[in-house]
Structure 1
Amino acid sequence: MRPAIFRSQKPKMANEAKPCPCDIGDKMDYGGLGEEVQIEHIKAYIVKPASSSKKAIIVIQDIYGWQLTNTRYMADLLASNGYIAICPDFFVGKEPWNPSQDWSTFQDWLEDKKATNTNREVDAVLKYLKEQCGASQIAAVGFCWGGTVVHHLALQYPQIKAGVSIYGIIKDTEERYQLHIPTLFIFGEKDAVIPLDQVTILEKRLQEKCPVDFQVKVFPGQTHGFVHRKREDINPSDKPFIQEARMDMLKWLRKYV
């Protein structure tokens, strides 16, 4: 079962001089099947499966924020496969990135939104899932910025059962290869944000140092954001890769959660 998709629009980048390589893509006009809740100091979108479940997935936003309909669609997709899915506002009320902003200002915008500075929010969400939802097996899936958060969780939170990092990695520490949880990394071959040489280094170092199961998979011809920011019905040449990546995500979660 898949949640319904509604019409979409593909906005033109407003800043042509320094376009953001992290294009917002096909922004869905999609209402979502869940609800918004308050969890301590943050808001979150949560959707539950048709049948009771003790399995939950933390769905972590990209730079366009927790309210991006594409990310909520992915949360609904996970719920339709039997998981409690929750997408918290890990920017804690701060404005998400806007495609019209100048890419040269991105690092300044990111300064107070470090993917590795999310433990307080993660702790609150884990507590909520356990105490309010009865979840005993919890995994994490993240996109772009959220994929980097998943990499961070794989290093810091052994109580999380598994992670799926979709075009997001920690780049600046040698400790990033000592994963504590089984982690699937998904990338696009033509990603302008994470070039292939970085993916090659990641896989090589994980093979040398990682003590748990992992997989690094690169999808040919695909750009950053393809798994959740491309509509398969209006990108027919990309459709097989979009569907395969989503199936890989689900298979990895079923294996470990």
Structure 2
Amino acid sequence: MTLSLRQSNVLIQLVSELRITDQALFTATGFEEMANEAKPCPCDIGDRMEYGGLGEEVQIEHIKAYVTKPSVDSDKAVIVIHDIFGWQLPNTRYMADLLASNGYVAVCPDLFVGKEPWSQSNDWSTFQKWLEDKKATNINKEVDAVLKYLSQKCGAKRIVAVGFCWGGVATHHLGLHYPQIKACVSVYGIIRDIEDRYNLQSPTLFIFGEKDHIIPLDQVNVLEKKLQEKCTADFQVKIFPGQTHGFVHRKREDINPNDKPFIQEARMDLLNWFNKYV
């Protein structure tokens, strides 16, 4: 199912009304070489939005979460998974609000479980140590709590998931192990070349940027090839021309007029992917 004209207009209006800062985020020396199979990438390309959010913070068992709901009752819900900058990042809350405006109860849980997220001012030489207790594949307890909350407290019967960078890896994990999640969208999640990464249980859309030095195109091509060989669930791998890591939720839309259509297209794609399966 494609977006209605009303939904498209809401999306375009939300995009056009964003207020974002002029300060570019810190870029680490050697960032281009950091990404590979062992390292979720530091998603610091882009800008921190100046955005307050339309939802509220709630307690879900042992974790906190940001929850935003559509204007009318809905049994559709989406788990929105943050990047290394954590669940309170305005950019991620904006994406949750965007999904809520299109009929989804959106929940962005703190999958770091109270641990400090990465900060722009942190020393990148400490990144691997910081990451040790924040593995994107060690989130089942938290995801189970969120699924229970959505079902029992929000009346959700059709649940999907989307994640960005670190959250893209986490979303890929959900697509492999949670068949009750109807569809997943992994947005520039680092690719790990291990055998159990391809037997998806949920239909999954993978979004990448052509100029993403963190995730080289040869890795993306291998992912697509192996999915074609081994995956029985529906999937799509889409590469956006000229785009860098972080473009869907962290890139200034006005930094280059040529970028804006791709940012909007990627957001439309993830909405259409969800609507197709719920």
Match of 1:9 among 22, 30, 43: 22
For residues 137-156 of structure 1, give each alpha carbon's deviation from its aligned partner in whole angstroms, at most 9, with x where no partner exists. Answer: 00000000001001000111
Secondary structure of 1:217's aligned partner:
strand
What is the identity percentage for the equivalent residue pairs of Structure 1 and Structure 2? 72
Determine whether 1:35 maps to 2:56.
yes
- Distance across 2 between alignment mates of 1:187 and 1:19: 17
Secondary structure of 1:250's aligned partner:
helix
Matched to 2:51, the amino acid is Y
| Matching residue of 1:184 | 205
Which structure 2 segments of 5+ residues have no match? 1-9, 33-41
Contact preservation (8 Å) 1:55, 1:84: yes
More divergent stretch after superposition (91-100 vs 70-79): 91-100
Matched to 1:70, the amino acid is N
Contact preservation (8 Å) 2:25, 2:47: no
- Distance across 2 between alignment mates of 1:85 and 1:70: 14
- Distance across 2 between alignment mates of 1:253 and 1:231: 25
Secondary structure of 2:182's aligned partner:
coil
Match of 1:228 among 227, 234, 249: 249
More divergent stretch after superposition (201-210 vs 170-179): 170-179
Match of 1:127 among 142, 148, 155: 148
Match of 1:79 among 83, 92, 100: 100
Matches within 5 A, 1:22-171: 22-171=43-192
Secondary structure of 1:27's aligned partner:
coil
Deviation at 1:24, TM superposition (A): 4.5
For residues 12-40 of structure 1, give each alpha carbon's deviation from its aligned partner in whole angstroms, at most 9, with x where no partner exists. Answer: 42x65455863241111101000000000
More divergent stretch after superposition (243-252 vs 99-108): 99-108
Matched to 1:103, the amino acid is W
Which structure 1 segments of 5+ residues have no match? none
- Distance across 2 between alignment mates of 1:107 and 1:86: 28
Cα 1:127–1:187 change in 2 (3 A) is same
Contact preservation (8 Å) 2:191, 2:219: no
Contact preservation (8 Å) 2:54, 2:68: yes
| Matching residue of 1:239 | 260
| Matching residue of 2:39 | none
Q: How many residues align?
A: 256
Normalization by structure 2: what TM-score? 0.88
Normalization by structure 1: what TM-score? 0.95
Contact preservation (8 Å) 2:74, 2:156: yes
Secondary structure of 1:179's aligned partner:
coil
- Distance across 1 between alignment mates of 2:60 and 2:253: 33
Q: RCO greater where, 1 or 2, for CA within 8 Å and sep 6 or more? A: 2
